[in-house]
Structure 1
Amino acid sequence: MTTRRAGGRHGYPWRAVGAAVVVLLAMVGSGMIGASLKNAEPVRPPQPLARAGATPPTPSPVDDADLDGDADLDGDERAPAGLARSAPTTISIPRIGVNAEIMTLGTNPDGTVQVPPLDQAMLAGWYQPGPSPGEVGNAVIVGHVDSAAIGPAVFFSLGALQAGDTITVNRADGRPVNFQVDSVASHPKDAFPTEQVYGPSDRPGLRVVTCGGQFNEATGEYPDNVIVFASPQK
């Protein structure tokens, strides 16, 4: 895929395809999400067991009571309708000790996706042009893995998550959404699974993204992206 830089080393190119917006992540340099740690013996973030190319499992059906789902009279389940749109305010991931505020992100003048400023590396960011958490479609939340200024950042330990772990996103309308991790995988930045992250879906989903892989001391870059795929918890 074609990528372009924006905002120095932090950029997500995007392009429109027909009526749908497809976001292409070019998490290059030491961050989109990530900035090099300058310590003599830096602590490196944990990496997921699954490597590139892992296909996230199909989410299991969601209970009607959770996200206003529906069912046919003959018992066949339909895709859940999801919640009305509402901006996320905080994200909580108990296994890795995350309890962070969420800022709203859009696109830069050159069309690349914004990321949280490095001086706010403990904040997560929601890609506002996409669905909100709980809406039908894949909501995307991104965050830094580390920062030269503060060290480990909001999603430093994202790669330690496992299937079955829980993620709670609180929303401005007061309706929290509990997600369950389906899979966690590491993908090279030049082979980012755009459709799996930003592509259309007939049910609510959540994607949480940061940098990963073996930090390259010479280039000051993380070569991969750690991606968490999650669906609403039953």
Structure 2
Amino acid sequence: MTGGPGSGMTRLLRGGIAAAAVGLLLIYDSVDTELGGGPFVGQAAPPAAVAPTTPGPSATAAGQATPAGAPGAPALTRSKPTRLRIPQIAVDAPFTELTLDAAGQLNAPPPDDKNLVGWYRDGVTPGELGSAVVAGHVDTTKGPAVFLFLRLLTPGNKVEVSRADGTVAVFAVDSVETFAKDAFPDKKVYGKTPDAQLRLITCGGTYDKKKKDYLDNVVVFAHLESSHKA
């Protein structure tokens, strides 16, 4: 369900990662792509932002980066995300705002755009204190999508989020985990954090043709490493 990789993907993926990518494409070709449901099925809604964050002792000024080797950068002030870039998997996509459905679950981004990611608009913005939630499709009825290769990220990979205030928040991947949708760990994914963190979420695991949905979610956990002016 995420924008298909561009022509540079072959050059970006090497060795085992390239082999895994081929495997994912084979899996994609074997399933019915008339998908139903959303890519994220937590039992609880992501937490809403209580109020826009104001600068404080721990907030970094726009353009100020945390020195290399620091465990995490100070949180940024609230600002809407505008673009997501993940060089390792050739992601370069704009954002749309996401809302909750009647059951309190996060709606998926529109299914007719393969290169689009969604941000939960009532939650934390990427770079702000807390866990910002960003979601995207692994595939759509039109083919492979923006987060097709999300599961291939590894600790240390960088995720860049351009923001409306002219800053770029740079996150470092901590881990990539897969959870069954019927046992989604809401607290682990959406819970409070002592710093600025990011959650990238998409579908994964086995595709159930009866449900027309994947049975699992892939979640990337990352923390704010630095920020700079665009």
TM-score (norm: length of structure 1): 0.67
Deviation, 1:176, is: 0.5
Determine if the alignment matches structure 1 residue 130 to structure 2 residue 123. Answer: yes
SS at match of 1:118: coil
Q: Which amino acid aligns with 2:146?
A: V
Q: Does 1:96 align with 2:89?
A: yes
State the distance in 2 between where 1:67 and 1:203 align.
18
From the two aligned structures, give the one with the greater helix fraction: 2
CA contact (8 A) 1:105 1:115 kept: yes
Residues 133 and 227 from structure 1, CA distance in 2 versus in 1: closer, same or farther, beyond 3 angstroms?
same
Partners of 1:156 and 1:13 in 2: how far apart? 20
Matches for 1:101-120 after TM superposition, within 5 Å: 101-120=94-113
What residue is the counterpart of 1:147 in the other structure?
140
Deviation string for 1:102-135 (max 9, x for gaps)? 1111223453322211112321000112110110
Cα deviation code 1:4-51 (max 9, x no counterpart): xxxx623756658xxx669xxxxxxxxxxxxxxxxxxxxxxxxxxxxx
Percent identical: 40
Q: Name 1:34's counterpart in structure 2.
A: none
- 1:63-102 aligned at under 5 Å gives the runs 81-102=74-95
Q: CA RMSD in A?
A: 3.2
Aligned counterpart, 1:226: 218
Confirm or deny that 1:175 pairs with 2:167: yes
Instruction: State the shift of 1:197 in Å.
Output: 1.4
Q: Any idea what the Cα deviations from partners look like across 1:62-107, whole Å, max 9, x if unmatched?
A: 997899799xxxxxx9986511100000100001100000111122
1: CA distance between counterparts of 2:71 and 2:137?
36
Q: 1:79 to 1:208 in 2, by over 3 A?
A: closer
The residue that corresponds to 2:177 in the other structure is 185
Compared CA separation, residues 67 and 209, structure 1 to 2 (3 A): farther
- Quote the residue 1:9 is aligned against: 37
Rounded Cα–Cα distance in structure 2 between residues aligned with 1:21 and 1:197: 14
Report deviation, 1:188. 0.7
Which letter maps to 1:183? S
Gaps of 5+ in 1: 1-7, 23-61, 71-76
TM-superposed deviation, 1:169: 0.3
Find the residue that maps to 1:120 and give its secondary structure: coil
TM-score (norm 2): 0.68
Partner of 2:28: none
Letter paired with 2:189 = V
Separation of aligned partners in 1, 2:216 and 2:118? 19
What does 1:39-58 correspond to in 2, within 5 Å? none
Which secondary structure does the structure 1 equivalent of 2:187 belong to? helix
Alpha-carbon deviations, 1:161-184, whole Å to 9, x = none? Answer: 111111000000011000010000
Among 161, 168, 174, the alignment partner of 2:153 is 161
Distance verdict in 2 for CA 1:121–1:168, change over 3 Å:
same
